[in-house]
Chain A
């Protein structure tokens, strides 16, 4: 029973695992592009968290239909929030990649330790 209950929160487990994988990549990888990939994975985990919490069992899209009383809706707010967060994430990624391009231009490498050695 206890175990099942824990497993029942599987989407939270996925969130935690994805988060950790992302964070690991950010910290461990030396290649700047791979770091950014890690950062993206890390952010995606949060999207999962928000999507998870808005799901209401049996809920539909929050659109009021004529003649259907007492509809069960999924909470639309987290979806809206996460849309915004995705936009933010994409901008950050774009900016990060732009930085990588400029680093490549001026240092000739995108390996972190080589850059640190260069100055």
Chain B
């Protein structure tokens, strides 16, 4: 086998094996460097994989040489490649920028363990994406979840602890639901391999257990993905987590759960359960619409910068689910694109927040007066990413809005009302982003506050600006993610092999 063929396995193995090595690297600078190297390596692997599957091929890797369905298979197709790109990209970018911010928030002696947990989280998320085996997905899901509980609770903010506890309870319930669903399917089909499941589910006579399984899996994953109204764990967890952890998790963690959800619903169930499309739409569409509208309205009145952005994430998850709920090629394309674009926009926004946190201990909007004068570059990057979140043309966010609206219009009679929902929520995004802008640019600095020029450390600022510029780049040249998203859609609903 050539090196290229091992890439799907290396995608998981590199960060996973680096984690224990990091713990051994006691000097904290070295731990950071090691973790970043591992993060960049996984990103490079993801890019190589994306290039390899661009033409519609699927990279299959049989663990230990045992072919599926007996062995555990890893598979990378266009959809997984896209999600891998954003997971490892977010991981690598956040790690690159992390050093200075983590130094301030994590005690030096705990840093090697912190970075190890980070890499385990990365390995878990990547593992979910490359697995072609339902149970394996569960295991990786729990690895990534356990790692992210640790990461979120790792900061100095004690409010993170109850938030993590809530996340842990809800996350475990979600994972267990998923496990029940997988068990039921295994009972009826005798296989755990996703492709095999898809093939064998056609022979199942008694469909009730499959239906129950679909329910358990959908709800379990919706919990993990923070789909409204199962999102209650998310805002507090993201708000009180260390800033760099928020960057990493907000960019990709929930999207991976959505990835599994979309994959299961459109590959395994859709073929067999009659009316499954209809049921899925009936379940997902109202939740998506409610999530978009309710979360956006809450964000409009939120006073804490980080929680505002976290709440907006719930709305954005609604967009992704909305696209998926059309169960059409256009819908899945829009959904996959929005995963990518939202990761860019939200990642950039939280990076800018991490920059701001260097000089503003309190991140409530009312305390951010004069920020633009002190940190003009940070604030400008934040505005660029904010525009992308709104979906202004020329930014990445616009591409997914366009695709989503096109998909909604294609979906028939309801299309126009959904377009209205998307547009109204975009306007709500204008409101909450502009509240931030006005707070940063026009609010009077508090009397005792320092008003001198004081930008964030260069390393952090560079990464922030790189992400901000990527938001514009992918708004003008979205060809790579778009090709992968189109490939995903063809794969999932278009009937392509």
Which chain A residue has the least Cβ–Cβ distance from B158? A106
Q: Which of B146-170 contact A (CB under 8 A)?
A: 146, 149-150, 153, 158-159, 161-162, 164-165, 168-169
A32-B165, A46-B180, A119-B159 as given contacts; A95 in contact with B173, CB under 8 Å: no
Which residues of A are found within 8 Å of B259, using beta-carbon distances? none
Which residues of B are found within 8 Å of A46, using beta-carbon distances? 176, 179-180, 183
Q: Is the Cβ of A49 less than 8 Å from the Cβ of B183?
A: yes
Which residues of B are found within 8 Å of A42, using beta-carbon distances? 173, 176
Q: Is the Cβ of B139 less than 8 Å from the Cβ of A99?
A: no
A84 to B134, CA, bound (A): 13
Q: Is the Cβ of A99 less than 8 Å from the Cβ of B158?
A: no
Which chain B residue has the least Cβ–Cβ distance from A92? B172
Which chain A residue has the least Cβ–Cβ distance from B188? A53
Which chain B residue has the least Cβ–Cβ distance from A19? B180
Q: Is the Cβ of A95 less than 8 Å from the Cβ of B176?
A: no
Q: Is the Cβ of A116 less than 8 Å from the Cβ of B168?
A: no
The A/B interface has a contact count, at CB < 8 Å, of 72
Q: Which of B19-77 contact A (CB under 8 A)?
A: none
Q: Is the Cβ of A92 less than 8 Å from the Cβ of B135?
A: no
Q: Which of A13-67 contact B (CB under 8 A)?
A: 19, 23, 26, 32, 35, 39, 42-43, 46, 49-50, 53
Q: Is the Cβ of A103 less than 8 Å from the Cβ of B161?
A: yes
Which residues of B are found within 8 Å of A106, using beta-carbon distances? 158, 161
Q: Is the Cβ of B142 less than 8 Å from the Cβ of A99?
A: no
A50 to B175, CA, bound (A): 15
- The 8 Å CB contact of A103, one of B150, B162, B172, is B162
A96 CB, nearest partner CB in chain B, Å: 5
Q: Is the interface of B mostly helix, strand, loop or mixed?
A: helix
Which chain A residue has the least Cβ–Cβ distance from B166? A112
- The 8 Å CB contact of B183, one of A53, A107, A119, is A53
Say which size band chain B's interface belongs to: 20 to 34
Which residues of B are found within 8 Å of A77, using beta-carbon distances? 192
Q: Which of A88-113 contact B (CB under 8 A)?
A: 88, 91-92, 95-96, 99-100, 102-103, 106-107, 112
Q: Is the Cβ of A102 less than 8 Å from the Cβ of B186?
A: no
Is A7's CB within 8 Å of the partner chain B?
A: no
A43 to B184, CA, bound (A): 15
Which chain A residue has the least Cβ–Cβ distance from B184? A49
Q: Which residues of B contact A (CB under 8 A)?
A: 135, 138-139, 142, 146, 149-150, 153, 158-159, 161-162, 164-165, 168-169, 172-173, 175-176, 179-180, 183-184, 186-187, 192
Q: Give me 30 A-to-B residue pairs in the complex whose CB atoms sit less than 8 angstroms apart, sorted by A's number.
A: A19-B180, A23-B173, A26-B173, A39-B169, A39-B172, A39-B173, A42-B173, A43-B176, A46-B180, A49-B180, A49-B183, A49-B184, A81-B192, A85-B138, A85-B179, A88-B138, A91-B142, A92-B142, A92-B172, A95-B149, A95-B150, A99-B149, A99-B153, A100-B165, A102-B153, A106-B161, A107-B158, A115-B162, A119-B158, A119-B159
| 9 residue pairs, one from A and one from B, having the closest CB atoms | A106-B158, A88-B142, A53-B187, A103-B161, A115-B162, A99-B165, A119-B159, A49-B183, A46-B179
